[in-house]
Amino acid sequence: MVFTSIGKPLEASRGATEIHLAFVVDSHVFSGAVVYVKLLLRHLSRNIQRSLIVSAPVASYFEEFRACCTNFIVVPTAEGREAAPEVAAILESIKPDLSLVNLIEPRFNQAHLAAATESSACIATLHLDSEHVVGRDREELSRQYRRLRNIIAVSKPVAAQLRSNFDVPADRIIQIRNGVDIPPQPAARREPGPLKIGVVARLSDQKGIDILLSAVSDITRRRHDFSVLIAGDGPQRAALERQALGLPVKFLGLRQDIPALLREIDIFCLPSRSEGLPLALLEAMGHGLPCVATPVGDIADAVGNDAFLVEPENPQALARILNHLMSDSLTRDALGSRARARAMRDFSVRRMVNETEEVIFCATGNLKGHET
């Protein structure tokens, strides 16, 4: 199989040799970046032996993989620290063929990235870009990124920042769009009743849930035959709950049964201020839900006309779109059908995993070539 990197084609052959891959995951909250690793752990080929080094705050979300991992090691989060010697020591002890460091955005995970690049051959996945990395931080990250065999960018903006801000050679940057598990059938239509708008997101400024609540406040001046379900947690939850007082909004907290939740709602809405390519949106499209999002990150390129897009920071426009969808069942059905068709064509987890495996096999093949 041959696929294209940012710089030039990559070629890798998959033999029967088992590869030992160590995932390095540091996060203080559950997020799409955590779900990404779970999808890889679940779907990678059997001849990829897995080890997991995971920070304590999110370790419980990986319990289902404890039995299938050669090593399942919980470490303290390194957020705010300059070094993670415990991670370096673990990697030197278990001696993987390759490590994959999961990077939320350039400002986070620096300590674990440094430990991994110093202790083992390494690739990484970067989920979000950031404009706030300057000076010595930028220089240090640039040095670490250039030590990687490859770095996977989940969106064009991430790939562009790696080239322009961090001077990563183009042929080391591989753009692989996210993928999700797509159910064999779309979500069944709910019984008649008040419509439900749903969102699955970390409750942070990035996701724009405050914009959604402002739009809901606007809509309730004209109609009351709907409610909003918000699944997720995060630093803005208390402030958002205060903003939602008196509105038809229910906060569900973290939900592990996202497919069940998506079957409860009629419209999915994610009014993000910034993104890479959000897994929650792709999963909602895979369930055949009409979706409303913002054209940030790779969303516009990825979804085309198969979701309604509204500019971020515009609650009035968001209210108009949501009200239109709630008022027109034919539009909801048509948009949901197009969303599912797009997801089945472009967003399958198998496509994402196949492309990621090519990076893994190519990186380890290069290593073995250097060793001989």
User: Of 185, 210, 196, nearest to 315 (Cα)?
Assistant: 210
Q: What is the pTM of this model?
A: 0.87
Contacts for 178 with CB less than 8 Å, ≥ 6 apart = 32, 36, 154, 276, 277, 278, 279, 282, 347, 352
Residue 213 CB burial class (10 angstroms; 0-12, 13-18, ≥19): buried
Q: Work out the pLDDT band at 6, boundaries 50, 70, 90.
A: very low
The percent of residues in the chain predicted with pLDDT above 70, rounded, is: 91
Question: Within 10 A of 221 (CB to CB), how many other CB atoms are there?
Answer: 8
pLDDT of residue 88: 95
Domains 2-179+349-371 and 195-346 alike in fold: yes
| Packing angle, helices 349-371 and 32-43, rounded to 10 | 70
pLDDT of residue 25: 96
Does the pLDDT value for residue 108 go beyond 60?
yes
Instruction: Calculate the alpha carbon distances from 139 to 26, 80, 144, 165 in Å.
Output: 21, 17, 9, 9
Does the pLDDT value for residue 7 go beyond 50?
no
For residues 247 and 261, what is the distance between their CA atoms, to the nearest angstrom?
20
For residues 57 and 273, what is the distance between their CA atoms, to the nearest angstrom?
25
Contacts for 72 with CB less than 8 Å, ≥ 6 apart = 51, 52, 54, 62, 65, 66
First to last CA, the chain: 24
Q: Work out the pLDDT band at 130, boundaries 50, 70, 90.
A: confident
Please, what is the Cα angle at 202 between 176 and 210, to 5 degrees? 120
Sorted by where each begins, the domain ranges of the chain are 2-179+349-371, 195-346
Does the pLDDT value for residue 132 go beyond 70?
no
The residue to which tokens 């779900």 are assigned: 35
CATH no. of 2-179+349-371? 3.40.50.2000
The residue to which tokens 């792709």 are assigned: 282
Longest dimension (CA), the chain: 72
Specify whether domain 195-346 bears CATH 3.40.50.2000. Answer: yes
